[in-house]
Amino acid sequence: MKGILFTYVLTYGGAAVSLFDPFVGLLAYVCLAIIRPELLWFWAIEPGNSFSRVVAGALLIGWGVQFLRRGAALSPFAAGRGRAVVLALGAAWIWSVLSASLAPNPDTAWGFVETFSKIVLPFLVGISLIDSMARLKALAWVIVLSQSYLALEMNLAYFSGYNRLYFDGVAGMDNNSASIAMVTCLGPAFFFGLYARRWWQRLAAFACAGLLMHAVLFSFSRGGILAMLLTGTVTFLLIRKTIAHYVAFAAAVLIGLQLAGPGVRERFATAFAGEGARDASAQSRLELWTACGDVMKRMPVFGAGPDHWPLLAETYGFAQGKEGHSLWMQWGAEMGIPGLAFLLLFYGLCAWRLWPLARARDPASDPWQRHLASMVIVALVAFAVSAQFVSLKLLEVPYYVALLGAGTLKLASAPATDPRRVTDNALTFPESA
């Protein structure tokens, strides 16, 4: 019952408000894309209901009205230093269209392009609507809370005696895919815990971080656990070095070690086993990556076509429909080396351009620019590592995290006298954070 009520209120309430304030529609769309209510509560919600489509339609109408009023000021390419990130994503989408136009199975290829467009279009609308620090923080909170809710559901099932995440997955994703989304949001949750102004928001953020961390551990995803370790390392490099922050970081490490039982440690250790000691899953991944690399050599420009690696897997001795178990290797096999380069530029440029901002110590600047830059860098590092082990090409969370990064670059590029560089009161809840 709670799932039905939440879904319909968020969908139709968000759609109604977005006609007048499209940014609210964007937040509703992001939440629905992460939670996937029709899959999370599949026993209560009739399959086939496209709640995101309802919100997306209202979002585009509301944005169109705003664009007619504001013109070029609402262009997604007027993003300052974030413009290169936007262009890289646009180039990746265009290359997927070119690859699909040459693919041997058009239905499969164009199906991918359609789904990819449902990520790219909200990204473009979102970057055009981000015009204040309050909106950036609102988006960050929605991403963290939405993903943390999935982690909460999985933790409740785990403590009830059934590891639903490991055996069944969540919201249409298996344990490895879900762990990517969880670990990507772990860093942002931890930074909110460190820097939110009000104690209850810090408490909520640390609770979210704990839920996400534990979910990654009992997912038994070796890639997710490795990414979580790197998340901790990069976080340590970026946090301010004060006693309070050292204590918070040390507490997080101790809690993580306590939560990781012998089973988790033993499974993670197999990721570094030698050739003779590797389990079948680890060995299969290496063979899949080699096969994807061979496809890139044979079809380096446009690849085999979007979503076409599963159609080729059988020719390399794998079961028909077998995924490549690496986002980067499979993307390159399907979209060619240029397509892979555009995707890497999208994430890489975002993190690279945010690094000086995250390391800045200018007391005159808005500290939340540094905090958000740090959040995004940590999240993208975690995603890049964990995505090497799962070919989840259309996971929404990392795209929305990159939207946070591009939005931060956009605001940081504004002149010092521009009010967008100062945290405003456009949204009361995130502003108080």
Per-residue pLDDT tens for 344-385? 999 999 999 999 999 877 654 688 999 999 999 999 999 999
Q: Of the candidates 266, 144, 140, 142, which has an alpha carbon nearest to the alpha carbon of residue 211?
A: 144
The chain-wide mean pLDDT, for the chain, equals 87
pLDDT for the residue 283: 77
Over residues 55-84, the pLDDT tens digits come to: 999 999 999 999 988 887 789 998 999 999
Lowest mean pLDDT among 235-249, 291-305, 330-344: 235-249
| Coil, strand or helix at 169 | coil
pLDDT for the residue 41: 84
pLDDT for the residue 31: 96
pLDDT for the residue 419: 53
Name the residue with tokens 């467009």: 117
Q: State the pLDDT confidence band at 423, using cuts at 50, 70 and 90.
A: very low
Lowest mean pLDDT among 11-15, 110-114, 158-162, 420-424: 420-424
Query: What is the distance between the alpha carbons of residues 246 and 413, in angstroms, rounded to a whole number?
Result: 31
- Give the start-end residues of each E strand in 33-167: none
pLDDT for the residue 360: 79
pLDDT for the residue 268: 46
pLDDT for the residue 252: 66
pLDDT for the residue 223: 82
pLDDT for the residue 206: 93
Query: What is the distance between the alpha carbons of residues 168 and 175, in angstroms, rounded to a whole number?
Result: 7
Token representation of residue 5: 């009520």
Query: What is the distance between the alpha carbons of residues 385 and 325, in angstroms, rounded to a whole number?
Result: 13
pLDDT for the residue 420: 52
- How many Å is the Cα radius of gyration of the chain? 21
- What would the mean pLDDT of 274-284 be, rounded to a whole number? 59
Query: What is the distance between the alpha carbons of residues 169 and 8, in angstroms, rounded to a whole number?
Result: 24
CB-count burial class (<10 Å; 0-12, 13-18, 19+) for 358: buried
| Coil, strand or helix at 173 | strand
pLDDT for the residue 416: 57
Q: State the pLDDT confidence band at 428, using cuts at 50, 70 and 90.
A: very low
Helix H or strand E segment including 321: none
Query: What is the distance between the alpha carbons of residues 340 and 334, in angstroms, rounded to a whole number?
Result: 9
| Coil, strand or helix at 170 | strand
CA distances from 370 to 215, 291, 355, 425 (A): 28, 41, 9, 19
Query: What is the distance between the alpha carbons of residues 347 and 342, in angstroms, rounded to a whole number?
Result: 9
Query: What is the distance between the alpha carbons of residues 39 and 44, in angstroms, rounded to a whole number?
Result: 10
CA distances from 176 to 137, 211, 216, 429 (A): 28, 16, 9, 33
Cross-strand partners of 170: 173
Q: State the pLDDT confidence band at 211, using cuts at 50, 70 and 90.
A: very high
